[in-house]
A and B are shown apart, each in its own frame.
Chain A
Amino acid sequence: MTPTSPFDHRPDPELGEALRRILDAGDHAEFTRKVVAAAEPLWGIRTGAENWWDVLSAWARPAVAAALALAAAATVWLVAASGGSEPEVTLEDALRPADETDLPAVLVVGPSPPDLDLILAASLESR
């Protein structure tokens, strides 16, 4: 056992051998057999008991969550996609005087919003 400094990064083989001698229990093969035998019930838990139904039920909750998330994402995407196909109305169109627009006068002139019947009639007339 040679003297070492705190910065010595080499193991001390003499001390190591002496410590190994007092800590070694012996008959590792018997110990190994004992551990492998003790592990036997665990294999059933890890593999045997896990049939396809167990696997499916284990995945059920995350699968439902994933399906809901996918459905929500698809809905958002569809709404965005359908909204994009509508003709865009620019600010200039909105601010244009009533007589310069393509819309029927009944829809843009008046203090209150037009009635639904008026809108339908105007759209049919324009066709």
Chain B
Amino acid sequence: MWERLGSLPRAGTKAMSEEVQRGLRLARMADVRDAELAALAQAGDREAFGELVARYAPQARRVARAILGNAADADDAAQDGFLAALKHLGRYDPTRPFGPWLMRIVANAARDRWRRRKVRSAEAISPTLPAGQPGPDRTAESRLFDEALRSALDRLPEQQRLAVVLFDVEGYTHREIARILDIPEGTVRSHVFHARRALRKALAGWRESREDTV
């Protein structure tokens, strides 16, 4: 791993600014595998950790949001997950993929936050996931579709929600999801099937109601 990083083009000239050198180092980091980045981060390399966060931030935020609903809470939970992963990088088995290991930590962090929020119960939990900021090209129709999907997703039991997101959005296998959620593989298949069926049913109902109103 160290040899691999060392063999990559070096930017050692004095004329080259620190910013450019940093950019080149980050570009080299992009070629490094997750397990190698994890080893570097464990050895104290901040940029390696930053690269891991950049790689998995979208996924971790989505997984946390699938559990918590609220975007701000989800970001806090995803951050908790990344920091917990950094603390326990020594427990990561580099022969296995990094993603499932990290997603398990993020999911646990999100669940912890959800439980704390539930105990506090000071703030009202929104029955549906809050809508994101609509882009200028988003039509009213697609916004309504998204809201219907969001509502249907929110009504699913947590494990079904996570299973369908990890499978259809993040592309994990049933086996990997079983490891993330710590449940049997057959249960994951069942969760994905039931979640998909519920989502399709909800969206079909929404489409029918739209057609009736038009």
**Which residues of A come within 8 Å of B, CB atoms?**
1, 3-9, 11-13, 15-16, 18-26, 28-29, 31-32, 34-36, 38-39, 42-43, 46-47
B residues in contact with A23, CB < 8 Å: 61-62, 65-66, 129, 165, 169
B50, A19: Cβ atoms closer than 8 Å: no
Nearest A-chain residue to B44, judged by Cβ: A47
With a 10 A CB-CB cut-off, give which of A9, A20, A25, A34 has the most chain B CB atoms: A25
Chain B contact-residue range equals 35 or more
A48 CB to closest chain B CB (Å) equals 9
Interface of A is mostly: helix
Contacts A1-B203, A24-B58, A24-B62 given; does A39 touch B150 at CB 8 Å = no
With both chains docked as a complex, state the minimum distance between the C-beta of B180 and any C-beta of chain A, in angstroms.
Answer: 15
Instruction: Give B103 Cβ to nearest chain A Cβ, in Å.
Output: 14
Q: Is B171 an interface residue (CB 8 A)?
A: yes
Q: Is the interface of B mostly helix, strand, loop or mixed?
A: helix
Contact present for B57 and A21 (CB under 8 Å): no
Query: How far apart are B119's CB and chain A's nearest CB, in angstroms?
Result: 24
Q: How far is the CA of A4 from the CA of B193 in the complex (A)?
A: 8
Contact in complex: A39, B83 (CB < 8 Å)? yes
Chain B residues whose C-beta falls within 8 Å of the C-beta of A11 in the assembled complex: 167-168, 171
- The yes or no answer to B116 lying at the interface (CB within 8 A) is no
Residues of chain A within 8 A (CB-CB) of B11 are none
B160 interface contact, C-beta 8 A: no
6 further A-B contacts with Cβ under 8 Å, apart from A24-B62, A43-B46, are: A20-B169, A31-B78, A32-B50, A39-B86, A42-B87, A43-B44
Confirm or deny: B146 has a beta carbon within 8 angstroms of a beta carbon on chain A.
Answer: yes
Whether B54 is near chain A, meaning CB under 8 Å from some CB there, is yes
CB distance from B88 to the nearest CB of A (A): 11
With a cutoff of 8 Å between Cβ atoms, the chain B residues found around residue A8 in the complex are 193
**Interface pairs (16), CB distance under 8 Å:** A4-B196, A9-B174, A11-B167, A12-B196, A13-B168, A19-B164, A21-B146, A22-B129, A22-B132, A22-B153, A31-B61, A31-B79, A34-B79, A35-B57, A38-B79, A42-B86
Q: Which of B150-177 contact A (CB under 8 A)?
A: 150, 153, 164-165, 167-169, 171, 173-174
